[in-house]
């Protein structure tokens, strides 16, 4: 696939209608617990395969670690978290590479596959489609609160549960209910990734702020000024293609732009199948998916946010 649509994976034709999917992601710790960090990094890396409707086949580790300055047990725990998450996804980690580095970093190279007729890109959203998001927002704001050591334990627990959750069920149901288009919500936030989908699909989107779910305490933390730099940069960028109703406050705009780690899938789907998708997903998942708005014909701005 070309570079125009900024899609989640590299896609290579293997012949006979089969496609190879390839992706790589790694980052610095977003939580203090090394095992949970490994789980989150692996779930995040796998997510790009799921965002295209694909099935992972196997993965490789990428790790950076200050081997002279930190106990080796921490690295072992990070890798164990990744291995357990890969196992949950039904794949093995077949190898990898690590380097000595000041700050720990971890992630996976993931290889996946999909039938060409099943491939879901971010370039096929149609006016009239409903927009579904499969995880609440706010992990960037909460990760910043964790770094400042002001996040209550129950808030951390809820964010970790969301970030470690695989997007595999969300992907299976996209194929079952024939989603038109999808991407996963990660570093560029909801506005950034929705903007990419709209640009690639030549459409616009309407989102109701009141329909968007956030993790516990995100609003309070954002009001207290706990905003990651990446989230501020995301809003600066998204402001160029997003129209906000004046009643949407600066804090609410930042919440919508929050840089996510291991976020949910953003799915564009025929309105006749959106409710069935939600019913089946929410009946089987601990995390609830929800409708945030709809796709409209291409308008002056890519995104319109109402209250």
Which residues sit at the interface with Co ion, rule CB under 5 A?
8, 25, 48, 97, 184
Task: For Co ion, give the closer residue by CB, 192 or 293.
Answer: 192
| Minimal distance, residue 64 CB to Co ion, in Å | 13
| Minimal distance, residue 206 CB to Co ion, in Å | 23
CB atoms within 10 A of CB 87: 12
Contact, 292 vs 133, CB < 8 A? Answer: yes
Task: For Co ion, give the closer residue by CB, 48 or 258.
Answer: 48
Task: For Co ion, give the closer residue by CB, 48 or 217.
Answer: 48
Nearest to 254 by CA among 297, 283, 279, 225: 225
| Minimal distance, residue 126 CB to Co ion, in Å | 21
Nearest to 48 by CA among 184, 250, 176, 169: 184
Task: For Co ion, give the closer residue by CB, 97 or 176.
Answer: 97
| Minimal distance, residue 32 CB to Co ion, in Å | 23
CB atoms within 10 A of CB 76: 13
CB atoms within 10 A of CB 202: 11
Task: For Co ion, give the closer residue by CB, 122 or 158.
Answer: 122
Task: For Co ion, give the closer residue by CB, 64 or 221.
Answer: 64
Nearest to 21 by CA among 119, 126, 141: 119
| Minimal distance, residue 21 CB to Co ion, in Å | 11
Task: For Co ion, give the closer residue by CB, 37 or 304.
Answer: 37
Task: For Co ion, give the closer residue by CB, 90 or 95.
Answer: 95
C-alpha to C-alpha distance for 63 and 144, rounded to whole angstroms: 22
Q: Provide the 3-class DSSP secondary structure of residue 240.
A: coil
| Minimal distance, residue 211 CB to Co ion, in Å | 23
Distances (CA, A) of 271 to 57, 126, 131, 160, 180: 32, 11, 9, 31, 11
Distances (CA, A) of 219 to 17, 138, 189: 46, 9, 16
C-alpha to C-alpha distance for 134 and 136, rounded to whole angstroms: 7
| Minimal distance, residue 1 CB to Co ion, in Å | 13
Strands (E) across 171-238 are located at 181-184, 203-208
| Minimal distance, residue 85 CB to Co ion, in Å | 15
């Amino acid at each position: 696939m070309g570079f125009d649509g900024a899609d989640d994976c590299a896609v290579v034709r293997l012949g006979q209608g089969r496609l190879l999917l390839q992706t790589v992601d790694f980052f610095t710790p977003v939580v203090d617990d090394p095992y949970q960090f490994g789980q989150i990094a692996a779930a995040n890396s796998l997510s790009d395969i799921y965002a295209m409707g694909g099935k992972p086949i196997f993965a490789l580790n990428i790790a950076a670690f200050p081997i002279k300055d930190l106990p080796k047990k921490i690295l072992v725990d990070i890798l164990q978290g990744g291995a357990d998450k890969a196992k949950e996804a039904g794949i093995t980690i077949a190898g990898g590479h690590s380097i000595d580095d000041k700050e720990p970093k971890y992630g996976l190279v993931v290889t996946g596959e999909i039938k060409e007729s099943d491939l879901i890109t971010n370039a096929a959203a149609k006016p009239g489609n409903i927009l579904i998001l499969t995880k609440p927002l706010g992990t960037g704001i909460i990760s910043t609160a964790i770094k400042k050591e002001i996040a209550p334990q129950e808030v951390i627990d809820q964010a970790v549960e969301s970030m470690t959750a695989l997007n595999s069920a969300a992907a299976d149901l996209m194929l079952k209910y024939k989603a038109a288009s999808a991407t996963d919500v990660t570093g560029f936030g909801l506005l950034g990734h929705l903007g990419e989908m709209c640009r690639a699909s030549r459409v616009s989107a309407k989102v109701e702020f009141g329909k968007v779910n956030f993790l516990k305490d995100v609003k309070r933390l954002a009001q207290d000024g706990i905003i990651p730099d990446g989230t501020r940069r995301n809003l600066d960028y998204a402001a160029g293609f997003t129209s906000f109703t004046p009643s949407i406050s600066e804090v609410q705009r930042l919440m919508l732009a929050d840089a996510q780690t291991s976020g949910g899938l953003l799915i564009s789907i025929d309105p006749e199948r959106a409710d069935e998708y939600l019913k089946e997903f929410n009946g089987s998942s601990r995390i609830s998916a929800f409708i945030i708005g709809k796709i409209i014909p291409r308008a002056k701005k890519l995104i319109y946010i109402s209250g």
